[in-house]
Amino acid sequence: MTIQGLPVLAPERAEITTRVATVAGLAAASGIDALVILEPANVYYLSGFRTTLHTRYTAVALRTAQPEAATLIAPGVDRKLALEPVWFPSLLPNTKIYYEGAPGGGAVVNAPGPLLAELIRDGDTIGVDLAGASYGQVQMLNDRFPQATIVDATPLLHEARRVKSPFEIETLRRANAIAVEVFGLVPGWLQPGLTEIDLACKMDTAARERGADDFGYPTLVGFGPKSLAPHAPPLAHPLVPDRIVTIAFGPALAGYCADIVRTFFYGTPPALAVESGERTIAIQAAAIGAVRAGARAGDLMLAAREVVLQFAPDAPAQGRAGHSVGLTIHETPSLTADNDMPLTVDMVLAIEPGAPGALMDGIGLYRHCDVVRVTEDGYGLLTPLARGLQIVPV
């Protein structure tokens, strides 16, 4: 796609048409008459339309018997984004804009309502992706269509998004390539006084310079024991010698997220850190080695667990070996031990089991995450980046 004369990696109209038809077919088979899709990632998936600010009601609406009439409903503030090739415009056959204001007798209430009423009938069974919808959005539908039955269409969207198209796989490959390249710069940035915030900013800037247009999650940096809280934001903690440095990094391209975690040690690592690194690599390797089409999603966690028990027989059972990744950082399937879903060719998985964090108390978290594409007889690695504890001399 070309936007404002520049080539942009984006889905083509034909792919959007196929996605809409697939989701409509799944919904119709479940007895759903109409769909109102509200989660931003799902709106983009079904329309091609992206905005970084979903501040007002935006939806893809369609009758499941007429997917060719699918419509993007967007607010006036996003008119140019939706209708013109400014960034990621709507690729649906119909795009309708509503305006908010106070004409005539008073304030407009339920401004998108009349546009929805062109597609939705009172008494319909309406599928809504409830996992990403707000209470107010759902209540608006209840008020506008009091005889309708609202059901959750989230599982249908998850099913449609689970297996990636060639465009999606290529985009995920490029997003992860950006992350790999930026990680290669990290050793040169580590020096006394560098803060977690400094490092996160350097990485984010480098990713933007290489084409990233967003991030699947805020860049997470932890120095020393703080890294044992893996979802804590980067803070003004300065780097000092002999500290572990754990980084989770997810630059995004055309909406698709990378997800790489790597661990460095600035200075001379204690024996426990080296040993934990070796164990973590063995645990992750076991999980990755279980990847192939037809394997249970849960097999990856079971394989990782076998290695954990070899050196920590009393370790509590861990939650999961990872998750699928795509337009959002956590997609299905979740790689929990009890998940019987079979892996399918062209699923894309982030695999990140690790040694029990308690074993590294006082030192910090040692974790790795890599992204793979499921193939018929194994996997293709999307994150060709050295594993193991990366030691950076002071």
Q: What is the pLDDT of residues 47-93, one digit of tens each?
A: 999 998 888 999 999 999 999 999 999 998 999 999 998 999 999 99
What's the mean pLDDT when you consider all of the chain? 93
pLDDT grade for 7, boundaries at 50, 70 and 90: low
Instruction: Tell me what pLDDT residue 103 has.
Output: 56
pLDDT above 70 (res 105): no
User: What phi, psi does 166 have (nearest 5°)?
Assistant: -55, -40
* pTM exceeds cut of 0.75: yes
Angle at 175 between CA 58 and CA 88, to 5 degrees: 30
List phi, psi (to 5°) of 224: 60, -150
Which residues, listed in sequence order, are joined to residue 246 by a DSSP beta bridge? 222, 263
Phi/psi of residue 350, nearest 5 degrees: -100, 120
Residue 28, pLDDT above cutoff 60: yes
**Spatial distance between the Cα atoms of 157 and 163, rounded to a whole number of angstroms:** 11
- Cα–Cα distance, 124 to 64 (Å, whole number): 11
In this prediction, residue 317 carries a pLDDT of 75
Structural contact between residues 162 and 342, judged by C-beta atoms closer than 8 angstroms? no
Domain residue spans in the chain? 2-161, 163-392
The dihedral over CA atoms of 299, 305, 306, 311, expressed in degrees to the nearest 10, equals 170
Answer left, alpha or beta for residue 309, where phi above 0 means left and psi between -120 and 50 means alpha.
Answer: alpha
- Which tens digit of pLDDT belongs to each residue from 271-307? 989 988 899 999 999 999 999 999 999 999 999 999 9
Q: Which CATH architecture has domain 2-161?
A: 3-Layer(aba) Sandwich (3.40)
CA distance 67 to 24: 6
Does the structural domain 163-392 have CATH classification 3.90.230.10? yes
What is the model's pLDDT at position 340?
A: 97
Handedness of CA 259, 260, 266, 269 (dihedral sign): positive
